[in-house]
């Protein structure tokens, strides 16, 4: 459903992605992992043309994004949502106003916007925080708002760039559960870039390993499942003191 055909991207003289071909299958959770600088984020950003390839083609549902004019590309991009490590919420807009933005840009019927925003916020469990500002939310709540915003236009594909890298282990597990629900109950195909092996192994069916701007390998995986993480103070003290003789301060 999403196909990269020999895409390359350079930043001045540095080639970040080198003639990569990759197909993302409908309904899968596809992980992309590799060392820092391997080109993971650039590859992800090429999938919705946030980065325009120097060479090669990007195709979604048989339509070449790389051949579209601006208007058609804007239309096609509605089927591809994206979330980021640092959430990218607008600080001076409320939760509601952040989530409604893509609906405004897409000329979604005015009368139906509120119910669609609330539907998306309910899906991520945040409808009670609709009037808060980003600064009043935790990291996990901010990522949920970003997910609600990405879902607003009912995308078929959700691109996730290090979605849990700014979060603690317990919140990471919560966000991964939300992403898995989006895949299972809404049928959204997910591509997730992460440098955290545990994150990738927990939910991905197929994983691409990148090195030096190229695909090193793509492997089929059996997701290990999301381990719920303890975050009680007792657990932290237990972990800190379990193998060593330590005095409490
Ligand atoms: N806008 C840009 N301008 C210049 N160089 C860039 C730009 N974006 C990425 N690069 C360079 O391209 C290379 C690949 O970057 P990319 O962010 O895709 O790697 P990554 O595998 O996602 O790494 P990380 O895990 O550290 O984010 C890096 O060397 C980076 O410095």
| Cα 42 to averaged position of ligand 1 atoms, centre (Å) | 6
pLDDT given for residue 164 in this prediction: 95
| Cα 17 to averaged position of ligand 1 atoms, centre (Å) | 9
**β-strand partners of 158:** 81, 190
Ligand 1 nearest atom to the CA of residue 51, by list position:
1
Listed by start position, the domains of the chain span 2-241
| Cα 208 to averaged position of ligand 1 atoms, centre (Å) | 17
The CATH H-level superfamily of 2-241 is P-loop containing nucleotide triphosphate hydrolases (3.40.50.300)
Interface ipTM above 0.90: yes
Q: Is the pLDDT of residue 245 over 90?
A: no
Question: Residue 243 to residues 82, 137, 237: CA-CA distances in angstroms?
Answer: 42, 36, 12
Residue ID of nearest Cα to ligand 1 atom 28? 37
- Encode pLDDT of 135-171 as tens digits: 999 999 999 999 999 999 999 999 999 999 999 988 9
| Cα 40 to averaged position of ligand 1 atoms, centre (Å) | 8
CB within 8 Å of 127: residues ≥ 6 apart:
118, 121
Ligand 1 nearest atom to the CA of residue 210, by list position:
21
Contact 96, 117 (CB under 8 A): yes
> What tokens were used for 95?
């939760």
| Cα 207 to averaged position of ligand 1 atoms, centre (Å) | 20
Residue ID of nearest Cα to ligand 1 atom 1? 11
- Encode pLDDT of 96-139 as tens digits: 999 999 999 999 999 999 999 999 999 999 999 999 999 999 99
The SS3 assignment for 206 reads strand
Contact 189, 24 (CB under 8 A): yes
Ligand 1 nearest atom to the CA of residue 213, by list position:
14
pLDDT given for residue 221 in this prediction: 94
pLDDT given for residue 11 in this prediction: 97
Contact 80, 48 (CB under 8 A): yes
101 sits in the region (left: phi over 0; alpha: psi -120 to 50; else beta) called: alpha
pLDDT band at 249 (very low <50, low <70, confident <90, very high): low
pLDDT given for residue 93 in this prediction: 98
Q: How far apart are CA 210 and CA 20, in angstroms?
A: 10
- Mean pLDDT, residues 6-10 taken together: 98
157-175 b/e with 16+ CB inside 10 Å = b?
A: bbbbbbbbebbeeebbbbb
Residues with CB under 6 A from ligand 1: 11, 14, 16, 34, 36-42, 195
pLDDT band at 248 (very low <50, low <70, confident <90, very high): low
Q: How far apart are CA 23 and CA 26, in angstroms?
A: 9
Residue ID of nearest Cα to ligand 1 atom 31? 37
Contact 158, 182 (CB under 8 A): yes
Give me the DSSP letters along 121-166.
Answer: HHHTT-GGGTT--GGGS-HHHHHHHHHHHHHTT--SEEEEESTTTT
């Amino acid at each position: 459903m999403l196909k990269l055909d020999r895409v390359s991207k350079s930043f001045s003289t540095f080639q970040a992605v080198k003639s990569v071909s990759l197909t993302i299958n409908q309904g899968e959770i596809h992980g992309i992992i590799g060392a820092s600088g391997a080109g993971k984020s650039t590859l992800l950003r090429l999938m919705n043309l946030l980065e325009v390839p120097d060479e090669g083609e990007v195709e979604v549902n048989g339509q070449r994004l790389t051949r579209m004019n601006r208007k058609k590309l804007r239309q096609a991009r509605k089927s591809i949502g994206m979330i980021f490590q640092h959430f990218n919420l607008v600080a001076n807009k409320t939760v509601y106003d952040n989530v409604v933005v893509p609906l405004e840009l897409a000329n979604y019927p005015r009368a139906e916007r509120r119910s669609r925003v609330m539907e998306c916020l309910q899906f991520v469990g945040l409808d009670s925080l609709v009037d808060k500002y980003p600064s009043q939310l935790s990291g996990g709540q901010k990522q949920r708002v970003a997910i609600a915003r990405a879902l607003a236009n009912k995308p078929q594909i959700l691109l996730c760039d290090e979605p849990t890298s700014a979060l603690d282990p317990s919140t990471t597990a919560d966000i991964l559960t939300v992403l898995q629900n989006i895949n299972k109950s809404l049928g959204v195909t997910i591509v997730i870039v992460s440098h955290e092996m545990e994150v990738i192994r927990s939910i991905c069916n197929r994983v691409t390993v990148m090195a030096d701007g190229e695909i090193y390998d793509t492997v089929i995986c059996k997701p290990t499942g999301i381990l719920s993480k303890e975050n009680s103070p007792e657990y932290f003290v237990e972990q800190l003191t379990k193998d060593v003789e330590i005095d409490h301060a």
